[in-house]
Amino acid sequence: QQELKVALVLPGPISDGTFNSAAHQGIKAAEQKYKIKVSIQENTQSAQIEAALTRYAREGYAIVIGHGFQFAEPAKKIHKRFPKTWFIVNTAKVAAAPNLASFDNRWGDAGYVAGAVAASVSKTGTVGHIGGIPVPVIQEYQEGFERGAKRIRPDIKVLTAVVGSFSDIAKGKEITLSLIERGADVVTATGNENVVGTIQAAKEKNVMAIGTAFDSAALAPETIVTTAIIRMDVNIDMAIGLVSSKKIEPKNYLLGFKENGVDLAPYRAFESKISDANKARIKQLIEDIKAGKVADLPKIR
Amino acid sequence: MDQIFFVGLVAAAFRLATPLVFAALGEAISQRAGVLNVGIEGIMLVGAFAGAWGSAATGSPWLGLGVAIAAGAAAAAVHGLLCLHFRVDQIVSGIALTVLGLGLSGYAYRLTLGSDRGVAIPSFARVDLGALGELPVLGPMLFQHHLLVYVALALAPLLWWFVNRTGWGLAIRACGEEPAAAHAAGIDVLRVRWGCVLVGGALAGAGGAYLSIAQIGNFVEDMVAGRGFIAIACVVYGRWNPFGVLLAALFFGAADAAQIRLQALNPDVPYQFFVMAPYVLAVGALVFVSRRSRLPAALGRPFTPPR
Amino acid sequence: MDQIFFVGLVAAAFRLATPLVFAALGEAISQRAGVLNVGIEGIMLVGAFAGAWGSAATGSPWLGLGVAIAAGAAAAAVHGLLCLHFRVDQIVSGIALTVLGLGLSGYAYRLTLGSDRGVAIPSFARVDLGALGELPVLGPMLFQHHLLVYVALALAPLLWWFVNRTGWGLAIRACGEEPAAAHAAGIDVLRVRWGCVLVGGALAGAGGAYLSIAQIGNFVEDMVAGRGFIAIACVVYGRWNPFGVLLAALFFGAADAAQIRLQALNPDVPYQFFVMAPYVLAVGALVFVSRRSRLPAALGRPFTPPR
Amino acid sequence: MAPPLELRAIGKRFGDLVALDGVDLAAGAGEVVGVLGENGAGKSTLMNIASGLLAPDSGEIRIDGSARTFGGPRDAAAAGIGMVHQHYLLVPSLTVAENIMLGDPRLRSLRPDLRRHGAEIEALARRVGLPLDASARVAHLDIGGRQRVEILKALHRGARVLILDEPTAVLSERERAQLYEVIRALKRAGVGIVLISHKLEDIFAVCDRVVVLRGGRVVDAAAIAERGGDALVRAMVGADPPAGPAKAAARGATLLSVHDLEARRDNGAAAFAGVSFELHEGEILALAGVEGSGQQELAEVLAGLRAPVRGTCRFRGRVLAGTGAHRRRAHGIRHVPHDRLRNGVLPRRSLAENFLLAHWFDAGFRRRGLLRRRRAGEITRTLVRDFGVRGAPGGPLGALSGGNQQKLVVARELWGDASLLIASHPTRGLDVRTVAALQAALIERRNAGLGILLISSDLAEIWQVADRVMVLAQGRLRGPVPVGQTSLQEVGAWISGA
Ligand SMILES: Nc1ncnc2c1ncn2[C@@H]1O[C@H](COP(=O)(O)OP(=O)(O)OP(=O)(O)O)[C@@H](O)[C@H]1O
Ligand SMILES: Nc1ncnc2c1ncn2[C@@H]1O[C@H](COP(=O)(O)OP(=O)(O)OP(=O)(O)O)[C@@H](O)[C@H]1O
Ligand SMILES: [Mg+2]
Ligand SMILES: [Mg+2]
């Protein structure tokens, strides 16, 4: 079998510690596993996307992965011109014959479980979510977070706020502080660097945090209860695997707990601090989600 | 391989330069009349949204473009009102306009297109230039673009002629250099400045619309991503001359196109170097080429007719 | 509840205003001498990285701050070299500096701290003001901040005094108003401008370091997130007067603190309105308060002594 | 026949200040009306009203006998009123033709024929004796050239009345004579002219009638033949003209000795070469010449603002090397710059700060880093009193009239232990009384041992105050010679290069 050329086009820097780092780690893992040659482009602005995708396709890359929903339209626009290339868009719902597929994670499900965990461990009955910029997946996560929390504790108060930037770590921290001021004792955040600010604030104020997307428990082991992991590496692994085995179809692959595209990290330092009943409840919830038994999961946008 | 690289690069350069050309020419006109508009970024965003919305609502990208142009002019009118009428500092007003444009376009998007992801946004098709487009190398490089790309290229000579060869252009230059002299000669300085501010806004709106309804076919919050500021830099690099401005915009477009390509070819060189390179080059060129500032003498200074 | 809201708001206002105060005061000094530096954003990023790196390398946040100040001055020296020595347009040089600062800080971070995520970055602790900090309401509002917050607040009167009451200050103002007159009076215009550019860069560096080694205790790419541009707005809103600049920065800090609180209280109002509100308010105030531009007359204009 | 321009009972206030109070003035076709008055008498204000730049508070403007209101300068131009402002209103980056055509309705087309207009302008210029290249950039013209553009601009718009605000203040003797010829030619062509000047010789040379303003009112109006110079000066200042200053021989040791000095202009061209002279304590050495012959550059070299190409300057025997006005000021070398508005003052700052600008490095004005502002304020107040600077002392310097700004600059430079004063046109644009007072002050300081290099294009002034005179022409120095041992004719010949 001949070596596949795979390109990963990222909207941000690989060092952001969340969204882009996750994709970077995924492709690194795939590099070990498959016989592929990888090229990565960072910090691609929306207007450069078309040019970037076109160029990789023209240079004969077999797989071009656009990491973010903003890659959907440009990919849709050009994919027909390069039938030998598979265009894969992450965190979007777009598909078109013959060679455009997308892989999306069920962020809403992840938020649902995160909300359930938050409600289980909260003492004040107030929890908070801080979004970077309310793009669809972040809105889904937020919706899931609220519903999951309410499922465990119908009287829970869920505070939400938006940073207005993915990179403004200082403002992410301040917003989190303001939610903590108002009683939140479990906080979670979605976005890029702004998530780090939320974790910082939680650490400083001795409240709990739930990580998202990327397991960064090492940043604050005493603060991070668990992480609602979005397995971007699984998306990438699946995409490359399906293309290699020629089994890929031009459709939207939606990955949830069942497909291992969403996961809950181990409790680590909190293992002993969470009651077994609560742990069992969460475990059961995840099983129910896998089994399709949870009715109020957020709608996929 | 090398030829593919080059063809792709030139084609991408035109695509990436076009929004800069529109916005920078608009800014140049405004600055030539003495009004600095650092809010061009916000106006482009308004234009990008208005273009997408208008196109989706009417089903025609041409009408969408019209809506974007009107919206751009309206956004610029805020700047005109603040600076020309209320005499607020131009930098203050421009910064406010940037933030306003970002907020309003994002909010309006959420209210309209964003709430309904199924809406199709009709976009400009590429022009079909027949045989020209089929030419082996030149075809993909030069003759397979959106019409707006050619409009942008044609705008530069048009504006040059307008500014340097017509009576209106003379009045504009006079207002930017010595408004008191223009006023004494019977020119209505405020009216000339108003006109240029509106035209500048309309062009910036068109630049934004190019992004949303020609290049991408979608609107994304903050999709202008700093192009408004680069457009201002293009005006300065281009020494306030429409041809110079066009060249500067093409340079940045080409640099961006090259940067994207070289990044992929040299994965070991950190991407930051590719991002910085055009600016370093451009500044370096300025150090050697032209040290004389051709800044319009009255740029940024308000003028009130004595009475 | 209301009291908690208010106490938290005031405390957050000071924290959010501090980097703006540093950077805006630095920019004000530079502009008073006639040099516009729109690259403050890039310099703050350099300062933020240098502070984090210096602090991690030496183990002392104070030494980190020193490194940040030196790095900020060094970054500003690039601007000085280009504008004062090579007479490149100040806006062009500033935009290049912004991009350069973003690229270099991101790259250097990856080479050093970023490659080793385990490195601890020693950060400033909050000062312990004893009984003051224990005061019921005032304590958390005013007396539990990082030392740098108080330094920033003290800088404004200090700079005011320097600019308005000392001979050096007179020289600075003369260079910003009528460099030719300053030159004729025996003032070395270039040297004064150089000094102010470097001081401005040092302060912007300190503002960046506040973000990384006091407020956050970490560095991330692009963490300044537009604060450099808001600092420039503060200078203009503050009418180039250090007290005015301080007030403007506190206003933006308070507006931001209020914005993030009101957002959570009013989840139905789109967040864009909260983001835009301070700018709209500030422009509105300017329309009513002061229409007279106090722009240093020679701002942005190069000066060459006759040869 | 009604005159083309008639102003009746014009009143204008600026805040509390009554600038004009019931002023009448008429200019008939082919008539030259002189307007005299001290600085701030209201001359420029009146003419700004006549040319539509300002609106009067009361009174009326009549054109050919019918009352009109001007909404702006365009209306005035359409009514045949043209004005050449004291500070020229030209766009330097445009050409002569473009400047003249600016605002012309014929330009409001997409394809204006600037070449044809240019030819028209050149033809007009030849007719009135003002040769000009219509395609030259105004930025490249000298001050006389710019004035010619302003005059042509007005004429080209069909001005039947031409208002000239202090046109001769900036001209050399030769350019002045040329201007007289132009005025006479226009008069013959039936153009009415209003000529504002502080110089009586201008009035006597070309005017038919004269109007004198004082404090915003007309204090005298008569045919020129009915008035002598003394009477006009008395009307202007409201008192007897001041007596000429007394000179005392007080020449002392050599203060400044210049040897083989050579310098360039801003554009790199040679300004002068081989300049050598000496200046003594207690003498006024005048430097005459057509403006632009290198006087400004010489003053700048001596003041330390411009580096010479070669040559040496010694001050009290010590070589002054390099540049650095700072150090020279410490030696007591002071300088009243040529372009005082640009090089001398901070218009938006107070009088006291403008004083400090030249003195803040004196130890006397600093105490532990702080400026002694109170002391500066006191000194400024005495200077304002002693030199009769008129205007609100609390406001910014820019609110003073140009002449009053000038007084403050000279006063500032003379203050303290000055030992050498380089003064470029210190009395330019001042009214008669102030000129006399300033000249008296210069002579008094000379008698007390100050050495003065007086750069002036006014030979009468030189004869009145200077001990010796020299001339820079064609890059060479002629003289110096004692004023008593030469004649106006001889110096005039040096200046004209004969
Ligand atoms: N825009 C203005 N605002 C306030 N005061 C003014 C203004 N214009 C003129 N004045 C005042 O009106 C008076 C008349 O000024 P004007 O310029 O007419 O004097 P002038 O006779 O032309 O003097 P000069 O001989 O100095 O040119 C002065 O006292 C001046 O201070
Ligand atoms: N902003 C202002 N505020 C108050 N007065 C002003 C202002 N601007 C100009 N003036 C007044 O307008 C008058 C005309 O100013 P200008 O500089 O033309 O004087 P000038 O005619 O050159 O005076 P001079 O003959 O003394 O040189 C001055 O008397 C000045 O006091
Ligand atoms: Mg006057
Ligand atoms: Mg005058």
- Which of ligand 1's atoms lies nearest the C-alpha of D198? 25
Cβ–Cβ gap D358/C185 under 8 Å: yes
Cβ–Cβ gap C106/A197 under 8 Å: no
Residue nearest to atom 14 of ligand 1 (CA): D42
- Which of ligand 2's atoms lies nearest the C-alpha of D87? 18
H or E element, residue D455: strand D451-455
For the beta sheet containing A36-41, the strands, ordered from the edge strand earlier in sequence to the opposite edge, are A36-41, A4-9, A63-67, A86-90, A100-105, A252-255
The answer to whether C114 contacts chain A (CB < 8 Å) is yes
Q: Work out the number of other CB atoms within 10 angstroms of the CB of residue A292.
A: 10
C chain contacts of residue B107, beta-carbon cutoff 8 Å: 270, 272-273
Residues of chain B with pLDDT under 70: 1, 4, 115-119, 264, 267, 286-294, 301, 304-307
**Residues A251 and A236: beta-carbon distance below 8 Å:** no
Residue nearest to atom 22 of ligand 2 (CA): D402
* B173: Cβ contacts below 8 Å, ≥ 6 apart: B32, B163, B296, D91, D93, D94
Q: Could you report how far apart the first and last alpha carbons of chain B are, in Å? A: 69
Q: Could you report how far apart the first and last alpha carbons of chain D are, in Å? A: 49
The answer to whether D93 contacts chain B (CB < 8 Å) is yes
**pLDDT score at C195:** 97
Q: Please state, in angstroms and rounded to a whole number, the distance separating the CA atoms of residues D411 and D386.
A: 9
Q: Please state, in angstroms and rounded to a whole number, the distance separating the CA atoms of residues D46 and D57.
A: 11
Instruction: Name the residue among B110, B218, B264 with its Cβ closest to that of A55.
Output: B264
Confidence of residue C40 (pLDDT cuts 50, 70, 90): very high
- In the block, tokens 């590496």 appear at A233
Q: What residues line ligand 2, using a CB cutoff of 6 Å?
A: D 39-40, 44, 86, 391, 399-404, 429
**pLDDT score at B152:** 95
A chain contacts of residue C275, beta-carbon cutoff 8 Å: 164
**Residues B75 and B101: beta-carbon distance below 8 Å:** yes
**Bridge partners, residue D287, by sequence:** D455, D470
* A55: Cβ contacts below 8 Å, ≥ 6 apart: B8, B12, B260, B261, B264
Cβ–Cβ gap A59/B4 under 8 Å: yes
**pLDDT score at B24:** 97
Spans of all domains in chain C: 17-225
The interaxial angle of helices A49-58 and B242-265, nearest 10 deg, is 50
Instruction: Name the residue among C177, C182, C307 with its Cβ closest to that of D348.
Output: C177
Q: Please state, in angstroms and rounded to a whole number, the distance separating the CA atoms of residues C220 and C218.
A: 7
H or E element, residue A211: strand A208-213
Residue-averaged pLDDT of chain D: 84
Average pLDDT, integer, range C216-224: 87
* pLDDT, tens digit (0-9, with 9 covering 90-100), for A242-251: 998 989 999 9
Q: Which domains does chain D have, with CATH numbers?
A: 5-237 (3.40.50.300), 254-496 (3.40.50.300)
Residue nearest to atom 19 of ligand 2 (CA): D401
Q: Which is nearest to B110 in space by CA: A128, A45, A46, A136?
A: A136
Q: Is the CB of D435 under 6 A from ligand 1?
A: no
Cβ–Cβ gap A173/C216 under 8 Å: yes
Query: Quick one: tokens of C266?
Result: 């009013």
> For B36-146, where are the alpha helices, taking DSSP H only?
40-58, 61-80, 90-111, 131-134, 138-142
Cβ–Cβ gap C273/B96 under 8 Å: no
Residue D405: HSE in the Cβ half-sphere, 13 Å Cα cutoff? 23
Which three-class secondary structure state does DSSP give residue D396? strand
More confident residue, C195 or A163: C195
* D249: Cβ contacts below 8 Å, ≥ 6 apart: none
Q: Which is nearest to B169 in space by CA: B242, B222, B234, B103?
A: B242
**Bridge partners, residue D221, by sequence:** D211
B chain contacts of residue D91, beta-carbon cutoff 8 Å: 173-174, 177-178, 181-182
**pLDDT score at D241:** 41
Best mutation target, A174, A187, A196, to test chain C (most C CBs within 10 A): A174
Q: Tell me, in angstroms, the distance from the centre of ligand 3 to residue D83's CA.
A: 13
Which three-class secondary structure state does DSSP give residue D292? coil
Length of chain B: 307
* pLDDT, tens digit (0-9, with 9 covering 90-100), for A100-118: 999 989 999 999 999 999 9
Taking 80 as the threshold, does the pLDDT of residue C267 lie above it?
A: no
C chain contacts of residue B293, beta-carbon cutoff 8 Å: 87, 89, 301-302
Q: Please state, in angstroms and rounded to a whole number, the distance separating the CA atoms of residues A91 and A18.
A: 14
Percent of chain A with pLDDT over 90: 51
B128 burial type by CB count under 10 A (0-12 exposed, 13-18 middle, 19+ buried): exposed
Q: Is the CB of D117 under 6 A from ligand 1?
A: no
**Bridge partners, residue A86, by sequence:** A63
Scanning every residue of chain A, which has its alpha carbon at the shortest distance from the alpha carbon of B6? Answer: A55
Q: Is the CB of D14 under 6 A from ligand 1?
A: yes
Closest-lying ligand to the alpha carbon of D47?
1
Q: Is the CB of D43 under 6 A from ligand 1?
A: yes
Q: Is D85 left (phi over 0), alpha (psi -120 to 50) or beta?
A: beta
Taking 60 as the threshold, does the pLDDT of residue C293 lie above it?
A: no
* pLDDT, tens digit (0-9, with 9 covering 90-100), for D157-168: 888 999 998 888
Taking 60 as the threshold, does the pLDDT of residue C96 lie above it?
A: yes
Average pLDDT, integer, range C174-202: 91
* A109: Cβ contacts below 8 Å, ≥ 6 apart: A144, A256, A257, A262, A289, A297, A298
The answer to whether A135 contacts chain C (CB < 8 Å) is no
Confidence of residue D243 (pLDDT cuts 50, 70, 90): very low
Q: Please state, in angstroms and rounded to a whole number, the distance separating the CA atoms of residues D396 and D93.
A: 30
**How far is CA A145 from each of CA A107, A129, A150, A210, rounded to the nearest angstrom?**
10, 8, 9, 11
B258 burial type by CB count under 10 A (0-12 exposed, 13-18 middle, 19+ buried): middle
Q: How far is C-alpha D156 from the geometric centre of its chain's CA atoms?
A: 26
Closest-lying ligand to the alpha carbon of D39?
1
- Beta strands per DSSP E along D365-405: 366-367, 370-371
Q: Is the CB of D35 under 6 A from ligand 1?
A: no
H or E element, residue D463: helix D459-465
Average pLDDT, integer, range D348-373: 82
* pLDDT, tens digit (0-9, with 9 covering 90-100), for D75-112: 898 899 998 887 788 888 888 988 888 877 777 776 77
Taking 50 as the threshold, does the pLDDT of residue D242 lie above it?
A: no
Q: Tell me, in angstroms, the distance from the centre of ligand 2 to residue A176's CA.
A: 59
Taking 80 as the threshold, does the pLDDT of residue D233 lie above it?
A: no
Q: Please state, in angstroms and rounded to a whole number, the distance separating the CA atoms of residues D147 and D141.
A: 9
Amino acid at A266: P
Average pLDDT, integer, range A11-36: 85
From A134's Cα to the closest Cα of chain B, the distance in A is 10
A chain contacts of residue B216, beta-carbon cutoff 8 Å: 46-47, 49-50, 73-74
Q: Is D307 left (phi over 0), alpha (psi -120 to 50) or beta?
A: beta
Q: What is the DSSP letter of B154?
A: H
Give the β-pairing of D284-288 and D468-473: parallel
Query: Quick one: tokens of D405?
Result: 């700004």
Residue D178: HSE in the Cβ half-sphere, 13 Å Cα cutoff? 14
Taking 80 as the threshold, does the pLDDT of residue C124 lie above it?
A: yes
H or E element, residue A65: strand A63-67
**Residues B23 and B245: beta-carbon distance below 8 Å:** no
Q: Which is nearest to C83 in space by CA: C92, C70, C75?
A: C92
Instruction: Name the residue among D304, D323, D360 with its Cβ closest to that of C167.
Output: D360
Amino acid at B246: L
* D70: Cβ contacts below 8 Å, ≥ 6 apart: D51, D52, D55, D61, D76, D79
User: Angle at Cα B45 formed by Cα B42 and Cα B50, nearest 5°?
Assistant: 125
**Residues D97 and D114: beta-carbon distance below 8 Å:** yes
**pLDDT score at B123:** 83
Q: Please state, in angstroms and rounded to a whole number, the distance separating the CA atoms of residues D115 and D101.
A: 11
Residue nearest to atom 25 of ligand 1 (CA): D39
